[in-house]
Chain A
Amino acid sequence: QQQVKQSPQSLIVQKGGISIINCAYENTAFDYFPWYQQFPGKGPALLIAIRPDVSEKKEGRFTISFNKSAKQFSLHIMDSQPGDSATYFCAASYAGGTSYGKLTFGQGTILTVHP
C-alpha cells in the first residue's frame, strides 16, 4: 500500500498554542518521512524530515514524533505563530526500484493560527 493518511483536514489554533498534525502509513518499506509546508501560490517546501531509526527530531519550534510499531508519525508546532498559517503535507518514500525518489503525500492540513 502506497497510501499515507493525514489528519485533521483543517486546524485552527491560537497564537502561542501547539499545533499537532498526524499521519499514518501502511507500507513498512517506507524509509523517509518528510513534512512539507505550502503557502498560497507557492510550491511545497521541505520543513523537516525523519528516518524510521529515530523516534523524534526537533528543529526549532518544529518536532516530528515517529512511532514505527504503530506506523504513525506526527508534526508538532510549538508556540504557533500567525506566520505558520499554511498547508502542511506529510509524505513518505522508499528507495526500492522505480520507487527511488518518489514521494507519496498525505492529503494536507490547512493550519490557521489566530493572533
Chain B
Amino acid sequence: DAGVIQSPRHEVTEMGQEVTLRCKPISGHDYLFWYRQTMMRGLELLIYFNNNVPIDDSGMPEDRFSAKMPNASFSTLKIQPSEPRDSAVYFCASSGPGQGARGYTFGSGTRLTVV
C-alpha cells in the first residue's frame, strides 16, 4: 500500500485566496483525521470522519475552514478565505476498522504558506 497520500506537498498562496488540501487514506481504513501542526500550538486535531461522516469538528478554528469526505478514498480540507495565520503543516491520518487511535498512519503533510 502507498500509505496516506496528501497533495500538494507545498502550497504558497496569497491572503484571501481559497486553498484546498487533499488526502487519500489507506484503502480499507474507515477513520480519517485532519491535524494542523504549528510551532506554537503543536499538533491539533481539526476534524475527523468515520465511514465518510464527520464525527467531531470541534477543532475547526472558524467558519473559513471546511472539510468533506465524498467517498472512502478521498477527503478535502478547504480554507476560504485564507489568512497568514493559517500557515502551518496540515496532516491527514487514517485508521483501520477497530483500530481507532491505535492504528494511525499519517501522510507526509502539506506545508501551507499564506503571504
Interface residues of A (CB under 8 A from B): 32, 34, 41-46, 49, 89, 91, 93, 95, 98-108
Inter-chain contact B56/A44, CB cutoff 8 Å: no
Inter-chain contact A43/B91, CB cutoff 8 Å: yes
| Closest 6 pairs between A and B when the two form their complex, measured CB to CB | A43-B106, A93-B101, A101-B100, A105-B43, A107-B42, A98-B56
Contact of B106 among A45, A100, A107 (CB under 8 A): A45
Q: How far is the CB of B38 from chain A (nearest CB, A)?
A: 11
Supplied contacts A43-B109, A89-B42, A101-B100, 18 more A-B pairs, CB within 8 Å: A32-B101, A32-B102, A41-B109, A43-B4, A43-B106, A44-B106, A95-B101, A98-B56, A101-B48, A101-B101, A102-B45, A102-B56, A103-B33, A103-B104, A104-B45, A105-B42, A105-B43, A107-B42
Bin chain B's interface residue count: 20 to 34
Inter-chain contact A41/B108, CB cutoff 8 Å: yes
Inter-chain contact B43/A101, CB cutoff 8 Å: no
Inter-chain contact B56/A89, CB cutoff 8 Å: no
Q: Do A103 and B108 contact each other (CB < 8 Å), given the known contacts A44-B43, A108-B42?
A: no
Q: Taking chain B's interface residues, is the majority helix, strand, or loop, or is none over half, making it mixed?
A: strand
Interface residues of B (CB under 8 A from A): 4, 31, 33, 42-43, 45, 48, 50, 55-56, 91, 93, 95, 100-102, 104, 106-109
Separation of A52 and B38 alpha carbons in the complex (Å): 29
Q: Do A103 and B106 contact each other (CB < 8 Å), given the known contacts A34-B101, A98-B55, A98-B56?
A: no
Residue from B45, B50, B102 whose CB has the most chain A CB atoms within 10 Å = B102
Separation of A46 and B33 alpha carbons in the complex (Å): 15
Q: How far is the CB of A55 from chain B (nearest CB, A)?
A: 19
Separation of A89 and B43 alpha carbons in the complex (Å): 9
Q: Which residues of B contact A95 (CB under 8 A)?
A: 100-101
Inter-chain contact B43/A102, CB cutoff 8 Å: no
Q: Do A43 and B100 contact each other (CB < 8 Å), given the known contacts A101-B31, A102-B45?
A: no
